[in-house]
């Protein structure tokens, strides 16, 4: 019998966050090992549960949530999102410009599928949240990675963006605050990106899912608030700001230069209709989440658990010889660099597999985020202080052994 092959559409698609090393970790757990997981940005299992009022709201509305909603989402939820965009100074957003999805993930794939023809290119940051690269490839497009510069605090390199634009470039992805680096972009950089997009007629895809997970009193500027003559698609949701990944509630907002984008928007409408609607119980949580008391602020305050864990993990990691790390201004990740002179890693996936086997700590390798060199790791700082101290101690021990090999 002929082997059953996967579609060639998947040939260039890669999502290492849930890749082969995770499968190995699961197997080790089945064998009875306790693995400390610093690999996935899923707050709830680490005691960062969804705010109680959101949970109660979902429970309360469950009896009314068994039917399909409108394809683009519940009116009340979209109205709340519309107010949210107003609060962020994004101009001219109407209810119809808002699409609710099963998390931002579904909408990223939808936004790429609706846009790209074979050979079209999208500029994606390196490092990136790898779903962006995967979604461009799956949609028949070609991701072209522009560099974010570690020396400048991981800011996008505007010259590199310019250099990578071709006649086939359709859009620029901006992840701000950034996963995996934790960078937060200042207004000048955002304006620089807009200028490039304006000049070349590109769409800006702004992934702002961590816009409330900000430390040290930093504030977030939505790139779509800075112009109305460029097309923006801005993504956000409940997964991170409201620790509700499992409710699968995300949205995208089309704004700016909409009048030339009618055909693209029709494509988005078509894809939204084809999947009928997003998870309705999750949609019910949106209005409650966006209004009133924002408990994330307590977690990111200097005395808040998330901020304290960022500080602890950053201090412990940067105490390790040959390890340097930008201190994140937002999100829930550290992206440390291992000095290649001390740690001449050839294959970083193999490296984190060995770390897993020897020390029972699970990370994701930097190349899994489309970083071109095997010299970075991503560390999630959601586990509690004891687990962070224990696991980073084990990483230090492993690196010590690696250096002496
Ligand atoms: N965008 C970024 C930058 C992320 O880090 C994640 C999840 O980690 C997502 C999107 C996916 O979010 P959702 O749970 O809404 O699908």
- Across the chain, which has 405 residues, the per-10-residue mean pLDDT values are 89 79 92 94 93 94 94 97 98 97 98 97 97 96 97 97 98 98 98 98 98 98 98 98 96 96 97 97 96 93 97 98 97 98 95 96 95 96 97 97 86
Q: Quick count: other Cβ atoms within 10 Å of Cβ 199? A: 11
Q: Which residues pair with 334 in a beta bridge?
A: 379
Distance CA 289, CA 331 (A): 18
Query: What are the backbone angles phi and psi of residue 149, rounded to the nearest 5°?
Result: -100, 115
Peptide bond into 288 cis (omega under 30): no
| Angle (deg, nearest 10), helices 280-290 and 52-61 | 140
* Cα of 193 vs its chain's centroid, Å: 19
Top mutation candidate among 18, 43, 45, 105 for ligand 1, by most atoms within 8 Å of CB: 105
Pairing of strands 337-338, 231-237: unpaired
How many angstroms separate the CA atoms of 141 and 118, rounded? 5
Ligand 1 centroid to Cα of residue 175, in Å, is 10
Angle between helices 385-404 and 348-359 (to 10 degrees): 120
The pLDDT tens digits of the residues spanning 194-245 come to 999 999 999 999 999 999 999 999 999 999 999 999 999 999 999 999 999 9
Locate the ligand 1 atom nearest the alpha carbon of residue 250 and give its number: 15
Predicted pLDDT of residue 201:
97
What local confidence, expressed as pLDDT, does residue 19 receive? Answer: 78
Question: According to the model, what pLDDT value does residue 13 have?
Answer: 85
Residue 357, Ramachandran bin (φ over 0: left; ψ between -120 and 50: alpha; else beta): alpha
pLDDT at residue 53, rounded to an integer: 92
Q: What gap in Å lies between CA 111 and CA 93, rounded to an integer?
A: 17
Q: Which residues contact 195 (CB under 8 A, 6 or more apart)?
A: none
Q: What is the DSSP string of 62-84?
A: GGG-SS---TT--HHHHHHHHHH
Residues at CB less than 6 angstroms from ligand 1: 41, 103-105, 129, 175, 179, 207, 209, 237, 239, 245, 250
ipTM comes to 0.99
Report the pLDDT value the prediction gives residue 82, as an integer from 0 to 100. Answer: 98
* Residue 216 and residue 182 in contact, taking contact as beta carbons nearer than 8 Å: no
> Taking Cα atoms as reference points, which of 288, 323, 347 lies closest to residue 396?
323
Q: Please state whether the peptide bond connecting residue 24 to the residue before it is cis, i.e. omega within 30 degrees of 0.
A: no
Specify the pLDDT at position 9.
87
Q: Are 364 and 352 in contact (CB under 8 A)?
A: yes
Identify which of 5, 43, 16 has the alpha carbon closest to the alpha carbon of residue 309. 43
Comparing C-alpha atoms, which of 339, 353, 307 is closest to residue 403? 339
> Hey, which of 103, 173, 279, 380 would you mutate to test ligand 1's pocket, going by the most ligand atoms within 8 Å of its Cβ?
103
Q: What's this model's pTM, rounded to 2 decimal places?
A: 0.96
Domains of the chain with CATH codes: 8-49+298-404 (3.90.1150.10), 52-290 (3.40.640.10)
Omega cis (within 30) before 127? yes
């Amino acid at each position: 019998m002929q082997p059953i092959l996967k579609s060639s559409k998947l040939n260039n698609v890669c999502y290492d966050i849930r890749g082969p090393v995770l499968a190995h970790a699961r197997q080790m757990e089945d064998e009875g090992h306790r693995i400390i997981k610093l690999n996935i940005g899923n707050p709830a299992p680490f005691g960062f549960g969804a705010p109680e009022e959101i949970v109660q709201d979902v429970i309360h509305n469950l009896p009314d949530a068994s039917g399909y909603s409108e394809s683009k989402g519940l009116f009340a939820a979209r109205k709340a999102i519309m107010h949210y965009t107003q609060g962020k100074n994004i101009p001219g957003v109407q209810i119809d410009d808002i699409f609710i999805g099963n998390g931002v993930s579904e909408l990223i794939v939808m936004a790429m599928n609706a846009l790209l023809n074979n050979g079209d290119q999208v500029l994606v940051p390196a490092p990136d949240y790898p779903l962006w690269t995967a979604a461009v490839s799956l949609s028949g497009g070609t991701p072209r990675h522009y560099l974010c510069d570690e020396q400048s605090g991981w800011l996008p390199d505007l010259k590199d963006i310019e250099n990578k634009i071709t006649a086939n470039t359709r859009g620029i992805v901006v992840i701000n605050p950034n996963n995996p680096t934790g960078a937060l972009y200042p207004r000048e950089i955002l304006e620089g990106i807009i200028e490039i997009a304006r000049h070349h007629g590109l769409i800006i895809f702004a992934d702002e899912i961590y816009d409330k997970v900000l430390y040290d009193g930093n504030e977030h500027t939505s790139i779509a608030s800075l112009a109305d003559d460029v097309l923006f698609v801005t993504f956000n949701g409940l997964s991170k700001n409201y620790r509700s990944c499992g409710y699968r509630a995300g949205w995208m907002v089309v704004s700016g230069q909409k009048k030339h984008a009618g055909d693209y928007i029709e494509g988005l409408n078509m894809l939204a209709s084809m999947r009928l609607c997003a998870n309705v119980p999750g949609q019910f949580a949106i209005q409650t989440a966006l209004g009133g008391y924002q408990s994330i602020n307590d977690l990111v305050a200097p005395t808040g658990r998330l901020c304290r864990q960022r500080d602890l993990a950053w201090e412990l990691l940067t105490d390790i010889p040959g390890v340097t790390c930008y201190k994140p201004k937002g999100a829930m990740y550290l992206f440390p660099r291992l000095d290649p002179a001390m740690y001449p890693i050839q294959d970083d996936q193999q490296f984190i597999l060995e770390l897993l086997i020897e020390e029972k700590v699970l990370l994701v390798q930097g190349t899994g985020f489309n970083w071109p060199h095997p010299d970075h790791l991503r560390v999630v700082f959601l586990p509690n202080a004891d687990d962070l101290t224990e696991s980073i101690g084990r990483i230090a021990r492993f690196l010590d052994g690696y250096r002496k090999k």
